Amino acid sequence: MKFFKTFLASILGTIIGSLLLLLLLFAVLISSSSEPEPYVKSNTVLTFSLSGDIPARVVKDPIEELINADSGPKVSLQSLKRNLQKAAVHEEIEGVWIRTSQVNASWANLESAYGYLEEFKESGKFLYVSTDDIGMNEKAYFLASLADSVFTPPETGFELNGFVAQISFYKDMLDKIGIEPEIFRVGKYKSAVEPFLQEQSSPESEEQINAILNSASARFVEAIEKRTGKTAAEVNQMISSPPVDRLQFALDNGLIDAFAYDNEIESMIKRRMGLDEDGEFETIGFGRYGKVSGTTAGLEETTGEDKIAVIYASGPIMQDLGQSPFNGQNLITASKVENQFESAIEDDNVKAIVFHVNSGGGLATTSDIIWNTVRSASEKKPVIASMGSVAASGGYYIAAGADTIVAGENTITGSIGIFNLLFNSEELYDEKIGIDFQTFKTHEYADLLNLTRPFTPDEERIIQQNVENGYESFLSRMAESRGMTRDEIHEVAQGRVWTGGAALDAGLVDVIGGIDRAIEIAAEKAEIDEWSIDSYPKEKDIFETLFNSGNARMNAWVMSWLPEPFQTQDAQNLMMLMEQPKGMNWALLPLRFDVN
């Protein structure tokens, strides 16, 4: 009887699960079916929130939109540019009102967003920016500084105290648990291994970090100069002053225009539009306005068949080893990149390719395969590399296969170097938890990568030689790509990190600009005057989205069961490194590098 009860319960559970899956699928199909284009009335203001990250592109996930309908659309550089272009020419749109708070986008992406807002202002329409009870940080204010008026509530935060970068170090932790890092590297600037060996940064690492910080700070100061008319010295003095009552300080020094709540801002918008206090203006949100066609808004849309493919590659560069709770799906793999380039090459209407890279690197072997894919494609069609927030080490490697490299002024790039990271766990096993090992082997070096004992001097020489060979291959590829000698590349390599502006002077990039400049260059090389953009990777169909969303949620659930310290990005990056095959050479930036 118990067996039949269990059997029937299993059948019932399967039936209910299947019904729920069908209902979810039906709901997604309904929600993703064609909707009529939104109608925009006269006296409309485009309003949206801008906080958190601003990625280059967001691939829509209808499952996520259905489950988290209240979260609103994610603003990307791609969607921001498109909506602002439409709003600038759309007769029914009177202006834009952005609500912002804590923005944590990279400085390279902030530069692009700043440029799009600047272009919108040329339309003569108003741009208002306000904040909420959280308040603005420097990155949010960098964008807000372009506004006709900046408003804050009378009681909120306002961050104006300079910029900081933080590197995490693991040496003490590894010492306590009995793990000895075995590091093999080339390049005096290859600081990616320092967190495992040291308790603070080397002078060489400090040099490059300070250069990146100072570049971001200089750009921020320049934006405040432009808004307030103050000199750089005066702005720096403001930032260095004690951060007491910063909100009043910001008002007194012309950084913000007034303290105002949303209802008061609405009254100011009415006056700006020439409406009576009792009058009303319409609003349209970012996602809804994104469904308004360019033709309806008044943009001149391309009618020709010529296309420029834009291939987005974002994340660590890794072997395709299947799913893991620690890597998610935001990886750059050789097969993904090869398939996307193959599709673009085979499409006769695609006349040129822009390869947008946002990666701090990864496996040197995978980077080399992708470099060859890019180089081979460039022999068939023009390929322009567009560097995003970061395109360093392996990220620089894969970009260098292109005809031309375009980088933002504050893109983090360079870091041409190789290292190998291994962990000797003898003390952990022998003294901490009491596990002994006996090794049997057929040949001298069969246990070369045995991590239960220290390396012998001979083994150390072998691994170091392999790392140096990898570095020489890296230099050779870069010399070939950049038209420089091996020694010229070595002089600016050795693991050194550069900003985009400094990389231009060093000969590592060709042009300073964003993805739009890269697209312009691609069109020039393809000799086309009109084109449409064909973006890769393509949006997934409903079935791929359904099951990939389920996998992502399962991974998130698994991670939520880990102890809290292991849920941090640093810890996940470390675990991702440790789960890769032993003995691999890495072309990788330091694990954590944020400028805030």
Catalytic residues: 393
Name the phi and psi angles at 139, rounded to 5: -65, -40
To the nearest 10°, report the CA torsion of 569, 572, 574, 577. Answer: -130
What is the maximum alpha-carbon separation in the chain? 90
Strands 126-131 and 180-186: unpaired
CA Rg, the chain, in Å? 27
Q: Does the N-terminal peptide bond of residue 537 adopt cis geometry, omega within 30 degrees of 0?
A: yes
Name the phi and psi angles at 90, rounded to 5: -75, 120
SS (H, E, C) 386-408: EEEEEEECHHHHHHCCCCEEEEC
* Pair 435, 429: CB distance under 8 Å: yes
Q: Is residue 127 within a helix (H) or strand (E), and if so which, with residue range?
A: strand 126-131
- Please name the amino acid found at residue 89: V
Closest by CA to 486, choosing from 550, 384, 416, 577, is 416
Strands 412-414 and 44-52: unpaired
CA angle 75, 77, 80 (to 5 degrees): 60
Q: Which residues contact 210 (CB under 8 A, 6 or more apart)?
A: none
* Pair 410, 503: CB distance under 8 Å: no
Q: Which residues contact 55 (CB under 8 A, 6 or more apart)?
A: 74, 76, 77, 105, 109, 314
Query: What distances in angstroms separate CA 263 from CA 102, 148, 156, 284, 584, one per listed residue?
Result: 22, 18, 16, 17, 59
Question: Which residue matches tokens 């170091």?
Answer: 464
Closest by CA to 428, choosing from 452, 411, 407, is 452
Name the phi and psi angles at 110, rounded to 5: -60, -40
- Please name the amino acid found at residue 272: R
* Pair 383, 536: CB distance under 8 Å: no
Burial of 276 (C-beta count, 10 Å sphere; 0-12/13-18/19+): exposed
Alpha helices by DSSP H, listed for 57-202, are 62-67, 77-89, 107-121, 138-144, 171-177, 194-197
As a whole number of angstroms, the distance between CA 30 and CA 10 comes to 30
Q: Which residues contact 249 (CB under 8 A, 6 or more apart)?
A: 158, 160, 238, 241
* Pair 102, 123: CB distance under 8 Å: no
To the nearest 10°, report the CA torsion of 384, 386, 392, 397. Answer: -20
465: left (phi over 0), alpha (psi -120 to 50) or beta: alpha
Strands 307-314 and 532-536: parallel
